[in-house]
Amino acid sequence: MKGVELNHKKILVTFLMHLGDLTLTTPFIRALREAAPDSHITMLVDEKLKDVVLHNPCLDEVITIDKHGRDNNILALLSCAHNLGVDMFDCVFPTRVARNGTAMTSRGRLVIRNAIYAEDFRPIDEHCNCYACRNYSRAYIRHLFKAEEIFGLRLLSVHNLHFLLDFTKKIRDAIEQDRFAEFRKAFWDQWEEKDERPEDLA
């Protein structure tokens, strides 16, 4: 942590992995507290792990989300980040899920391996202008995955990264124009997995 000024800051540590991995964060949190004794350190965890970290003396606050329920989607996590004042983040999510054959779209998750896409010649997302969507169909990308061609996961990674960058740009614009609530509602109105819709928009 040398070269980074951490003291007198508000620091959010996000941990959304499994219980076994939580032990790896303990020395990190301790080192973070030593480097930033006067900072307010908050940890965001799955609500099922709350009791494990709640009494950690190096933390000032613990915030929970429902990782496998109401918060199991990208907008819920970004809304949480917005509410907490987070303005910069990094995540392996778009490329990790791409390697497993999942695309991020404006209507929800699309699992390209599914047989339903074998003869679907539409782009991954008809509202996307990325290289993959301009040049290749769902059927072709599914064929690449079934044939274990690495080009398939590359195309999905390109798409997911483009989608996430475009999505966060729209969120930034909505926040700057003070219309994030309207943006959030419009997003959920076109989301196909209706059971994931937040309670306040049901």
Burial of 112 (0-12, 13-18, 19+ CB in 10 A): buried
Residue 118's pLDDT band (boundaries 50, 70, 90)?
Answer: very high
The answer, yes or no, to whether residue 3 has pLDDT greater than 50, is no
pTM: 0.67
For residue 102 the two structure tokens come to: 């999942």
